[in-house]
Structure 1
């Protein structure tokens, strides 16, 4: 697959190939402190040795308020920065580059979660609208569902958290940062008409609903210059977002166009996959449409990274055809730590990860994490 293994200029660096490892929640951080463990360092090094051009780390929280699950890592204090420095140092012993995905779940949190209680803050969202979903907080007594969040009074206070997180990521040695604006989390909640009913400058029109995400992107670029990516999932209905198709295309066309003008290094767009959809009131929340042909014309400067359960063969085809510049893979990297090297060598990459081990068992966190064969 010669095209996938061609170098790619991305921001201020050149990647050795066009294969990325996308961000995946794995929940192995130290409980309560939400800091990197040595096991996490081993996990990322295993996969960096597997030959990716770029790794985007798991969703990394920009504040204690807004912690969806236990053992999700953060980057708001020095101990967390020092932990991530061990990861970036390990990755940089290989050719791979590593970006930090900056994440705030918004309304997808629960007020009784220990981290939320410790923050002393309510669950925030653009509007006081609960996500309609059957998802449960299984780590809390009674397995409660989502609650009605508190409307964010001044969104600029959260934008400042994104900037500080970027500063911390730079200190931790990351090559860049990725703004998580996908999958129904905070920025996606601002973009979506069904979760954002604000009547001030942060809601209503396309320009207003995209304002929060674009302002967050601006402060990241202030810190990292050309080394800032954006992850979007316009076809997803995950966490009870997804506007009618016409509104979806209008909103994301505008957001992508403006992000491209601001100088994002890449824009990662996830195509429709059933895993990221939800059936609510008997109807699919997602939109099944051709994400590549719809939004490729809008991207003039940034690199276009495709995402969404692509096979290596599909990836080679769309990169060779010039439809996209590179492709992110997720699940294949879990059970195939040397995924890219195996693809290059023509070896099978059909080891299947165990989904019951995705998020770990505190008694044996290495199981389903670092114990997959590395050759």
Structure 2
């Protein structure tokens, strides 16, 4: 990267954009990133420092790490939740700080579905089984915080009543997010989690109205989005990863295109603020029995036409140069940055001023703390660019 002004090199990246009812000062958003620094499932002051660093670093729109809509266990031991008032208070502490710094922050809401484990502490406290659309275990997975580091197990198939109960938990989480001061919510529909498990015909083999046809497999995600709209109106977004791979989802290309073309069209008709498309990236590849679960195709070229109302952000290794070109060509409205935003809290300022991205990633601490005494390392200790 040169030392000339990045804002002149990437003028479209630094043009304000309307996202829902909010005006965002640039078109670089922070993608949701699991960091596992919650106190159990409670948001903390250290998390406030983390988000505040990135707002002060110039990020136009912050999307939080995935926030659990219920106590049901997770493969991430210290992922935060928002299912009761105590957790709302913790998140309010964070959103207040972000707003004081003139930032915008959305809560990404998620449910792990079959990527939970029955022996996970939060799962035991929830007192319910590991649920999924069908009783099909995902392959892979390592629960490092459990004895023996087990993998995924076969879940309990959801019944009609419990499906609606979980949709209700998503809606209540959105209500709680509004009480916590969030500017909107994003549905986590990517990465092989519950929404993706319903969409995918390898993880959803139901024969009722929640499975089988494309329309039925899309129903769960659309019902959750409708419930979010009832709470946040225009300020609802969604993240989706059509190429699959991660957490053992993925369909043949023809099924993928049919499923996601329909789902994106129907979601777009709801009047979403934005849709983030996660493009193919080899980091999401998962190979079982010699078969790669990812479907490698050009997401923008194949699916962009399904979105005509919502803003479109692109995610997965998108560089400023790519973002500038794609925005100028009218193919996207902005970019969502993940990994580089972890390692560079001032990522946006560096791009704007032409400073290099030269912080070395602390890989062992990307998703776990050093010890009970040190949660800071690899989280809030990445240095800012020198002037």
Which TM-score tier does this pair reach, normalised by the shorter chain?
over 0.9
Structure 1 residue 266 corresponds to structure 2 residue 271: no
Q: TM-score by structure 2 length? A: 0.95
Q: TM-score by structure 1 length? A: 0.98
Instruction: Name the residue aligned to 1:327.
Output: 335
Alpha-carbon distance between aligned partners in 2 of 1:315 and 1:86, rounded to the nearest angstrom: 33
Instruction: Name the residue aligned to 1:130.
Output: 137
Structure 1 residue 104 corresponds to structure 2 residue 104: no
Structure 1 residue 18 corresponds to structure 2 residue 11: no
Residue 325 of structure 1: CA displacement? 0.4
Instruction: Name the residue aligned to 1:371.
Output: 381
SS at 1:260 equivalent: helix
Out of 169, 181, 187, the residue aligned to residue 173 of structure 1 is: 181
Instruction: Name the residue aligned to 1:352.
Output: 360
| Higher RCO, 1 vs 2 (CA within 8 Å, ≥6 residues apart) | 2
SS at 2:48 equivalent: helix
Residue 175 of structure 1: CA displacement? 0.3
Residue 363 of structure 1: CA displacement? 2.8
Alpha-carbon distance between aligned partners in 2 of 1:374 and 1:41, rounded to the nearest angstrom: 17
Q: What residue ranges of structure 2 are gaps of 5+ in the alignment?
A: 1-9
Aligned length: 372
Alpha-carbon distance between aligned partners in 2 of 1:99 and 1:35, rounded to the nearest angstrom: 17
Structure 1 residue 235 corresponds to structure 2 residue 206: no
Contact 2:343–2:360 (CA under 8 A) maintained in structure 1:
yes
Residue 311 of structure 1: CA displacement? 1.4
Out of 68, 80, 86, the residue aligned to residue 93 of structure 2 is: 86
Alpha-carbon distance between aligned partners in 2 of 1:37 and 1:157, rounded to the nearest angstrom: 28
Residue 132 of structure 1: CA displacement? 1.4
Write the deviation string for residues 83-117 of structure 1: whole angstroms up to 9, x where unpaired.
11111111112232110000101000100011100
Structure 1 residue 224 corresponds to structure 2 residue 232: yes
Contact 1:66–1:104 (CA under 8 A) maintained in structure 2:
no
Residue 329 of structure 1: CA displacement? 0.2
Structure 1 residue 5 corresponds to structure 2 residue 11: no
Instruction: Name the residue aligned to 1:297.
Output: 305
Aligned runs of 1:273-284 on 2, under 5 Å? 273-284=281-292
SS at 1:210 equivalent: helix
Write the deviation string for residues 157-177 of structure 1: whole angstroms up to 9, x where unpaired.
110000000000000000000
Residue 317 of structure 1: CA displacement? 1.4
Contact 1:332–1:352 (CA under 8 A) maintained in structure 2:
no
Q: What residue ranges of structure 1 are gaps of 5+ in the alignment?
A: none
> Which range is displaced more, 309-318 or 147-156?
309-318
Out of 154, 177, 181, the residue aligned to residue 148 of structure 1 is: 154
Contact 1:178–1:228 (CA under 8 A) maintained in structure 2:
yes
Q: CA RMSD in A?
A: 0.9
Alpha-carbon distance between aligned partners in 1 of 2:115 and 2:339, rounded to the nearest angstrom: 23
